[in-house]
Chains A and B, each alone.
Chain A
Amino acid sequence: MAIQVADLTKRFGKAVAVDDISFTIADGSATALLGPNGAGKTTTLAMLLGLMTPSSGSIRVLGTDMLRHRYQVLGRMNYASPYIDLPQRLTVRENLNVYGRLYGVRNLRTRIKILTEELDLERFMERPYREMSAGQRTRVALAKALLNEPEVLLLDEPTASLDPDTADRIRGLLEAYRGRTGATLLLASHNMPEVERLCDRVMMLRSGRIVDDGTPKGLASRYGRRNLEEVFLDVARRT
């Protein structure tokens, strides 16, 4: 199993952001965390990455206990999110140079060249990150997230702020990356067509709990809906 989570809880004072969730994610699979704002998706991802310590519970990634030995495995994971940024004044090339070294990437120049071609970033390599559009920044963040060819890739809204054409290319890139490397993908998204295309499993979260779990088609069928978007609305509006 790529990810094993047991009895995971995160409290902030009296508020419970993640409420005693347990799940496993198989090697090489693509799973989506779906849920309305405040459902606990980003908090769950942050705990899986070691950015946030859980109030209780356990997390194993690639067989390693993330609460005790996260540094053994962080080099085999990566993350992209529109909610955190890269150094604003550094150029794209400089940012990728820095992060490539942080992840101990071998043949860094070649790796950067390949990624920037795939993500159509060559024209922007000498441009400071702060001067880029939101969509361009998302692509740079993805380039950073793929630098170390992660075995486990966590993505928070990976195509937010992208135009439909670029978003489609990114999804194609993620599919190809998974197909080529057998990487495990876990993504939080509000984009249902994206989830239906990329993921073979969906976990629905509401108020910090997993309220349903299944394949996109299986969930639609179980709820008697045409697609995942209608399932999402059902779950989000349920009291």
Chain B
Amino acid sequence: MASLIRIYAMVLRHIYLLRGSWPRVLELAYWPVMQMILWGFITQFFMGHSEWVAQAAGLLLAAVLLWDVLFRAQLGVTLPFFEELYSRNLGHLFVSPLRPWELIVSLLGISTIRTLIGVVPAALLAIPLYHYSIFTLGLPLLVFFTQLLVTGWALGLMVSGLVLRFGLGAQSLAWVAIFALAPVSGIYYPIDTLPNWLQPVALALPSAHVFEGMRAVVLGEGFHVGHFFAALVLNLVYMALGAALFMSVFGLARRRGLLLHSGE
């Protein structure tokens, strides 16, 4: 119970932050909406020029909305963690009874809230603008959303760990790391489009399995159980690695006194 209260306190800290700044909330939703509008027009263009896209209007729109889930989930972990560094607040946090794993859980909670604020308005706007509802994917949408959320969390924890280790000079990793995955995740095209040597790299990423699975559902091929389990297992591995890296760097930070001197 005490743990839950501490986790709630940390989530509350970031809710206060969002509540106190409507431009922040607007910005969370702005980029996913812009992406959706852009890819909506691209979809309309390709509907008349591409046989593949013409098979299913939602192919690209579902892809862009799910990509934003992954991107926002990762930023949802890293940016709130950076807030603690900008504020030079880690020293206060870790002389309190807050455990590092409680901080991790709270970051995952904040990430979920930020992702929903970012992606839901874009998904809802796609309905009147392009007559496409991602919610028609049904139950698989929940699976894809959850899987990408977890992948984003894992990456977010890895990036946060590295920034704790190397300082805020490394904060650009928050944007760089996720875009390194984009080409091999097969967001807008099937994995077999990639060169043969690159395909195993793609299949080692949970995101590639999610986007393959998404395409199968959108194209009416049904829910692909193989991709689901592959993503699930890989997510467990990546999440364990992310948490282990963060905890290991936290231990290093305590040895080197970084918690006392972290900041800009």
Chain A residues with a Cβ under 8 A of chain B: 12, 42-43, 46, 49-53, 71, 74-75, 77-79, 81, 83-91, 94, 97-99, 101-104, 128, 144
Stretch at the interface among B80-88, B213-221, B239-247: B80-88
B180 CB within 8 Å of chain A: no
Q: Could you say which of A51, A71, A89 contacts B99, with CB atoms under 8 Å apart?
A: A71
9 A-B pairs with the lowest CB-CB distances in the bound complex, closest first: A84-B91, A101-B9, A85-B88, A102-B96, A94-B16, A75-B97, A49-B95, A98-B13, A79-B95
Contact between chains at A85 and B87 (CB < 8 Å): yes
List 11 A-B pairs, Cβ < 8 Å: A51-B94, A51-B95, A51-B257, A71-B99, A75-B96, A79-B91, A89-B17, A98-B12, A99-B92, A101-B12, A144-B92
Contact between chains at A52 and B87 (CB < 8 Å): no
- For chain B, which range describes its interface: under 10, 10 to 19, 20 to 34, or 35 or more residues? 35 or more
Q: Could you say which of A46, A75, A78, A81 contacts B257, with CB atoms under 8 Å apart?
A: A46
With the chains together, A86 CA to B6 CA distance in Å? Answer: 16
Residues of B within 8 A of A89 (CB): 17, 20-21, 87
Could you tell me the distance in whole angstroms from the C-beta of B149 to the nearest C-beta in chain A? Answer: 25
Q: Could you say which of B16, B86, B97, B254 contacts A71, with CB atoms under 8 Å apart?
A: B97
Residues of A within 8 A of B251 (CB): 53
Among A49, A51, A74, A104, the one with the most B-chain Cβ atoms within 10 Å of its Cβ is A51
Could you tell me the distance in whole angstroms from the C-beta of B264 to the nearest C-beta in chain A? Answer: 11
B93 CB within 8 Å of chain A: yes
Query: Given contacts A46-B260, A74-B96, A104-B5, is CB(A85)–CB(B89) below 8 Å?
Result: yes
Could you tell me the distance in whole angstroms from the C-beta of B239 to the nearest C-beta in chain A? Answer: 24
Q: Could you say which of A81, A97, A103 contacts B96, with CB atoms under 8 Å apart?
A: A103
Chain A residue at minimum C-beta to C-beta distance from B259: A51
Residues of B within 8 A of A75 (CB): 96-97
Chain B residue at minimum C-beta to C-beta distance from A88: B87
Residues of A within 8 A of B9 (CB): 98-99, 101-102
Contact between chains at B260 and A101 (CB < 8 Å): no
Query: Given contacts A51-B95, A51-B257, A79-B95, is CB(A87)–CB(B12) below 8 Å?
Result: no
Contact between chains at B17 and A90 (CB < 8 Å): yes
Contact between chains at A83 and B92 (CB < 8 Å): no
Contact between chains at A74 and B20 (CB < 8 Å): no
With the chains together, A119 CA to B5 CA distance in Å? Answer: 26
Query: Given contacts A51-B95, A53-B254, A71-B97, is CB(A87)–CB(B260) below 8 Å?
Result: no
Q: Could you say which of B84, B87, B91, B93 contacts A102, with CB atoms under 8 Å apart?
A: B93
B255 CB within 8 Å of chain A: yes
Would you give the 0/1 interface string for B38-78, flagging 1 where the beta carbon is closer than 8 Å to chain A? Answer: 00000000000000000000000000000000000000000
Residues of A within 8 A of B178 (CB): none
Chain B residues with a Cβ under 8 A of chain A: 2, 5-6, 8-10, 12-13, 16-17, 20-21, 83-84, 86-99, 251, 254-257, 259-260, 263
Q: Could you say which of A77, A84, A94 contacts B89, with CB atoms under 8 Å apart?
A: A84
Query: Given contacts A97-B12, A102-B9, is CB(A52)–CB(B2) below 8 Å?
Result: no
With the chains together, A51 CA to B92 CA distance in Å? Answer: 9
With the chains together, A46 CA to B256 CA distance in Å? Answer: 11
Could you tell me the distance in whole angstroms from the C-beta of A103 to the nearest C-beta in chain B? Answer: 6
Could you tell me the distance in whole angstroms from the C-beta of B131 to the nearest C-beta in chain A? Answer: 40
Residues of B within 8 A of A71 (CB): 97, 99
Contact between chains at B89 and A87 (CB < 8 Å): yes
Chain B residue at minimum C-beta to C-beta distance from A144: B92
Residues of B within 8 A of A99 (CB): 9, 92, 96
Residues of A within 8 A of B88 (CB): 83-85
With the chains together, A26 CA to B236 CA distance in Å? Answer: 49
Contact between chains at A42 and B260 (CB < 8 Å): yes
Contact between chains at B97 and A74 (CB < 8 Å): yes
10 new A-B contacts at CB < 8 Å, known A77-B95, A85-B89? A12-B257, A46-B260, A50-B95, A74-B95, A74-B96, A78-B95, A87-B87, A88-B87, A90-B17, A102-B96
Residues of A within 8 A of B259 (CB): 51-52
